[in-house]
Chains A and B, each alone.
Chain A
Amino acid sequence: MITRFLWQGMGPGLRLFTLLVLAVGILLPLANQLLPPTSPFHVPAWVLQLIGKYLCYALLALAVDLVWGFCGILSLGHGAFFALGGYCMGMYLMRQIGSRGVYGNPLLPDFMVFLNYKQLPWFWHGFDQFWFAAIMILLVPSVLAFALGWFAFRSRVTGVYLSIITQAMTFALMLAFFRNDMGLGGNNGMTDFKEILGFPVQADGTRAALCFASAVALALGLVISAAIVGSRFGKALTAVRDAESRMRFLGYRVEGFKLFVFVLSAAMSGVAGALYVPQVGIINPSEFAPGNSIEAVLWVAVGGRGTLIGPVIGAFLVNFGKTWLTGALPEFWLFALGALFIVVTLLLPKGIMGLWGQIRDRSQARKAQGSKSGAEKARVPA
């Protein structure tokens, strides 16, 4: 039953794409680990790190698309769920440092010693265990999403008002996490990680494994999303997106549908954030910045809202462009981002995934016109 559930949404295109994601996640780390650095096919560790990062962004984009593309909830605060997952992972990684920190305190992370903490704050307990951190990575974003969604959806807050609330949420969290009193590293956040699950974070082998894990997480996200979207629940979900009040008059309790995808999407974002942090080696409150959440929405818009492949493609393309442009012409990145927003909205309402349909429609229209004028010409001599 579960297998049937998981396969029901997988069309041939999506199956191929999921395999492609997995292939990238397997072949790149293998090419790094097995081939000698002299080989032309050797993949350097920085490429693994970059691709691993993009894979996490892609998972975040998929999560945004699940609520925005399929349920019509435009969340401008998904970066908060991503950052919370990241902080949970960061807390685990901080506890792994142990007495190897600058101050050599076996229990307290460096920033706590520096801020004169005498004992570990209560919410840091348990984070020395990976399993506990793993549960928190799923639980913390889910609980926040549940609380926010519960009140917002029951009060029927929709559209731009909901977007503003989510944006305010991530901004409020950013301000809160900037405070040293939060006990989460203040504006410096957490860094100088040493080990994850006993393996050195900086080592090539660990990078390869993290890149692989990110690909697996993304593939899993695609399979789960496809199963949900392809089920009868998914049909009801898109119906809620298109005509919410009609669904109510048909007897559907719309809040339940929205809350479920919102919480699931938050958990997916949390996983993405947790995989992101060991790969970039730092987590700080700027991850909560409203701009991050808006950028994630842009990835979805570029790739194609309401498709499952689109957000992944969008996340890769935009971030590739960002990596390249911030290296080549750093001062132009924000202008490029703004221009992209305008271009996509005006010319690509359905994103890259909709481009094929747009081209096909246009060529069909031209053909229809051509054959019509052709027929008129043919009639003239007669």
Chain B
Amino acid sequence: MRSTSALLYLSGVTVSFDGFKALNNLSLLVEPGEMRAIIGPNGAGKTTMMDVITGKTRPDEGEVVFDGKSDLTKLDEADIATLGIGRKFQKPTVFETHTVRDNLLLALSGIRSWYKLLLAAPTKAEKDRLDEILTIIRMTDQQHMLAARLSHGQKQWLEIGMLLAQDPKLLLVDEPVAGMTDVETETTAQVLREINRSHSVVVVEHDMSFVRALGVKVTVLHEGSMLAEGTLDQVSADPRVVEVYLGR
């Protein structure tokens, strides 16, 4: 395992499903504090890459190193989450039968073992932190409402609150603006930039105007490998990228 200053280091990662290579010798570096956008056509391997980083899928080959010391290919989802990698899914997944506050409590970094939770009572520090997050996501009034009764937008906010509660070092965000209006898309870009002040972020997205609004370094994936990397203007000018997006 190589030692590296990068927060996330992928090298030569290959994943195949029944002979189909979802990832093919993929390498990627994310620096601490960076925000990176990953784009690519359908089937480029964006979600598989997320799955590899979060421990849901084991790569056949290659290295995945987090924070210069943790080999993610040897750990499972719970370990990786505890190390400080949070994941937001494309579809907002909140715990519908719990209240907004309990959703945040479950996400709050801290106790994770089942036997400690049997006797755990929320501490003052935890209560304060929950109140703080509720204020940030503007849901103090809805804190005792069941998550199932929230609107789509409110669920997105709650999930962002859960990520704040989890307080990860690296945040993986999967297509955050799918199904959003232009105004909501713009607001989400703002929120992500705010989060990026204290967290590293990797965003997977289709929507080019959203990626432009983020204004960060872009990695283009194609058929499981990196095709191009640079600013959005640089990669848009790359003939291979144009070929991939428009050629078919």
Contact = CB atoms under 8 A, between A and B. Distances in A.
Bound pair (A, B): yes
Interface of A: 1, 5, 228, 231-233, 235-236, 238-239, 242-243, 245-254, 256-257, 260
A235 B106 contact: yes
Nearest to B56: A245
Nearest first, the 4 A-B pairs at minimum CB distance are: A251-B81, A248-B77, A233-B117, A256-B114
Given A251-B81, A252-B112, A231 B118 contact: yes
A195 B64 CA distance: 66
Contact of B78 (A1, A232, A238, A251): A251
A249 B77 contact: yes
Contacts of A254: 78
Contacts of A242: 95-97
B93 interface: yes
B137 to A, nearest CB: 17
Contacts of B145: none
A235 B104 CA distance: 11
Interface of B: 54, 56, 76-78, 81-82, 86-87, 89, 93-98, 102, 105-107, 109, 111-115, 117-122, 162, 166
Nearest to A261: B114
Contact of A253 (B86, B97, B102, B113): B113
B107 A238 contact: no
A5 B118 contact: yes
A236 B106 contact: yes
A242 B122 CA distance: 22
Contacts of A250: 81, 106-107, 162, 166
Given A239-B98, A242-B97, A249 B87 contact: yes
Q: Which of B87, B113, B115, B119 has the most chain A CB within a 10 Å cutoff?
A: B119
B27 to A, nearest CB: 24
A1 B121 CA distance: 11
A228 B77 CA distance: 25
Given A246-B93, A251-B112, A256-B114, A235 B98 contact: yes
Nearest to A306: B97
Contacts of A248: 76-78, 81
Contacts of B95: 238-239, 242-243, 246
B118 A228 contact: yes
A103 to B, nearest CB: 50
A360 B21 CA distance: 54
